[in-house]
Amino acid sequence: MDTAQDAAIAVRGLVKAYGSHDALRGVDLLVPYGRICALLGPNGAGKTTTVEILEGFRQRDGGAVTVLGTDPAHAGAEHRARVGIVLQSTGVEPYLSVAETLAMYAGFYPHPREVDEVLALVGLTESRDRRVRQLSGGQQRRLDVGVAIVGDPELLFLDEPTTGFDPSARREAWDVIHELRALGRTILLTTHYMDEAENLADQVVVIAGGRIVAEGTADTIGSRNRRAVEVRFSCAASTEPPANLAARRDGHDGWTLRPTDLTRDLHVLTGWAISAGVELENLRIERPTLEDVYLHLTGASADALEEE
Amino acid sequence: MTSARLLARQIRYANLSFWRNPTSAFFTFAFPLMFLVIFTSLLGTGKVQLPGRTVSLSTYYVAAMATYGVVSACFSNLGMTLTFHRDAGILKRLRGTPLSRATYLASRIIHAIAVAIALVAVTALLGRTAYHATLPTGASLGQFAAMLVVGALTFSALAFAISGAIPNAEAAPAVINATIMPLLFLSGIFIPLGTNAPAWILWVARVFPVRHFVVGMQSAFLGTAFHWSDVGIVALWGVGGFLVARRAFRWDPPR
């Protein structure tokens, strides 16, 4: 099913160099229609270069790229009408009002959305008559998203759409993105926030050193689902859990164990606690977070993980 | 939407922004008129000797400030606006939309020229009622219109060219004023160039376009001789500006 014909974005062997620096060393990527794909990677890994080539802002040195069936390097106005773009730092005219700005951009597209509909979607209805320069940073970012969707694009590029947002503004932005997905739009998103990727993305792609180093869902990427699980709990300092669980002390009254069989070991642990009348405080099962996996994949904390 | 309607809309939005931005409206529109009132109040009773005529300084300044208004709208304001739009990422964003680059560029140039023409009209009316300036009629109106349009286009082209040399938006006012202000002085815009002006100043005036532009504009207001060579030299600068702009003008913000 995931063939180039079915995909909104299809990239094969994409390479790009800046002088003697190889920014992209053969990137392969397929994003099917209607999916949200999160592209993760450290600064300088090639995220922005990849996205800007897909958007048509930069020319590639080699490889095959199609976006909605068109090569973005040679795309015309018709193609640009089907794509919405939120860049990291793009402004809009500061002296126009929010509604004027959306109406101006709507005029560029053959089948734009209603301005009022977009205002409601990005939560700016109250601010429709305010000048852009009077908006807060979070509101300006929402206007960025509004401008990108006013043409009713099939595909949306969001480059770090919530950087600098406070937590509630981020939740609101996520709601907007969920609504767009519900409308069947395809979205390619870059972000530094793991919870954002986890909350939004159907597909997570990690890029490092100009290559895709892992791809999967937020739950399975980097074999996250198969990586070691830990059980942690604390109990009265005078008691000790059964020796066959091989739990080790973790602080004054805390314990950590790595189960060989989670279900059976939990049964042993709770059975012992009930019969011994011990309260297992703070009992929890921990899996590596997406951030742990990401840091491992991108090498930043590979050593730290090895030591565990 | 047809491209003509799209262009008209872009001009309208450019105009809304222009009038709502206190700096652009004030410096572009109010400065030439303010200078006209100040100069004529201070010096208006004096006379200035021009080739073939002696005119009162107040009449002289009507032509000079009309010229200054065109330079201010088409060069200074347009150059700063383009640099700001580039650095704020507005140009890059537009490139990602179906709007053609030509429509955006045309809207900016046409708006700058419209502001320049409005400024010239206000200056001329003020000059007519308060400072005894003649208004161009008949053949001189045609010559005047040609000079005005060629001058406005030339300084617009130079604005695009110089924006490529401006590293970032904060530097725009400094770079633009540093290039245009000395030239305005050396071309007799603020202080008439007398017959005893130093030779190097006269040479500078002869080489650069501002002097030729103001002399061409003067003939309509002051009844001095009109030379198509002035229009030609200004137009040459315009062609040069256009060629440089094609290479130097950038859509992406500096990184």
Picking from B35, B254, B75, B250, the residue whose alpha carbon sits closest to that of residue B155 is B75
Predicted local distance difference test score (pLDDT) of residue B1: 63
Picking from A155, A161, A147, the residue whose alpha carbon sits closest to that of residue A199 is A161
Q: Are residues A172 and A40 in the same domain?
A: yes
Q: Which residues of A touch B17 (CB under 8 A)?
A: 93-96
How would residue A172 be classed by pLDDT, with cut points 50, 70 and 90? confident
Query: A21 pairs with which residues across the strands?
Result: A18
Domain region containing A261? 228-286
Domain boundary pick from A221, A240, A258: A221
Q: Which residues of A touch B1 (CB under 8 A)?
A: 107
Query: A231 pairs with which residues across the strands?
Result: A257, A285
Q: Are residues A196 and A141 in the same domain?
A: yes
**Count of pairs with CB atoms under 8 A, one residue in A, one in B:** 69
Predicted local distance difference test score (pLDDT) of residue B157: 96
**A79 CB-contact burial (10 Å; exposed 0-12 / middle 13-18 / buried 19+):** middle
**A126 CB-contact burial (10 Å; exposed 0-12 / middle 13-18 / buried 19+):** exposed
Region A233-243: mean pLDDT is 82
Domain boundary pick from A201, A221, A241: A221
B55 torsion bin: left (phi>0), alpha (psi -120 to 50), beta (else): beta
pLDDT over 90 at A219, yes or no = no
Task: Inspect the interface and report whether the beta carbons of B98 and A109 lie closer than 8 Å.
Answer: yes
Distance (Å) from the C-alpha of residue B83 to the closest C-alpha of chain A?
Answer: 13
Q: Which residues of A touch B89 (CB under 8 A)?
A: 87, 89-91
Structure-derived torsion over alpha carbons of residues B90, B96, B101, B105, reported in degrees to the nearest 10: -10
Q: Tell me which chain A residue has its CA closest to the CA of residue B104.
A: A108
Q: Where are the domains of chain B?
A: 3-248
Query: A216 pairs with which residues across the strands?
Result: A204
Q: Are residues A185 and A249 in the same domain?
A: no
Tokens 């299809």 -> residue: A10
Q: Which residues of A touch B100 (CB under 8 A)?
A: 77
Query: A interface mutation test: which of B18, B81, B97 has the most A CBs within 10 A?
Result: B97
Q: Are residues A113 and A255 in the same domain?
A: no
Picking from B223, B212, B66, the residue whose alpha carbon sits closest to that of residue B137 is B223
Q: Tell me which chain B residue has its CA closest to the CA of residue A153.
A: B97
The answer to whether A46 and A23 have CB atoms below 8 angstroms apart is: yes
Task: Inspect the interface and report whether the beta carbons of A131 and B20 lie closer than 8 Å.
Answer: yes
* Consecutive H or E run containing B183: helix B172-186
Report the domain count for chain A.
2
Quickly count: other Cβ atoms within 10 Å of residue A251's Cβ: 8
Task: Inspect the interface and report whether the beta carbons of A91 and B93 lie closer than 8 Å.
Answer: yes
Residue A264 maps to a domain? yes
- pLDDT > 70 in chain A, percent: 94
Q: Which residues of chain B are under the pLDDT cut of 50? A: none
Q: ipTM, 2 decimals?
A: 0.89
Picking from B230, B208, B204, the residue whose alpha carbon sits closest to that of residue B219 is B230
Predicted local distance difference test score (pLDDT) of residue A307: 37
Q: Are residues A282 and A164 in the same domain?
A: no
pLDDT, tens only, B6-47: 999 999 999 999 999 988 888 888 888 999 888 888 886 788
Q: Does residue A242 or residue B160 have the better pLDDT?
A: B160
Length of chain A counted residue by residue: 308
Q: Are residues A257 and A180 in the same domain?
A: no
Predicted local distance difference test score (pLDDT) of residue A3: 55
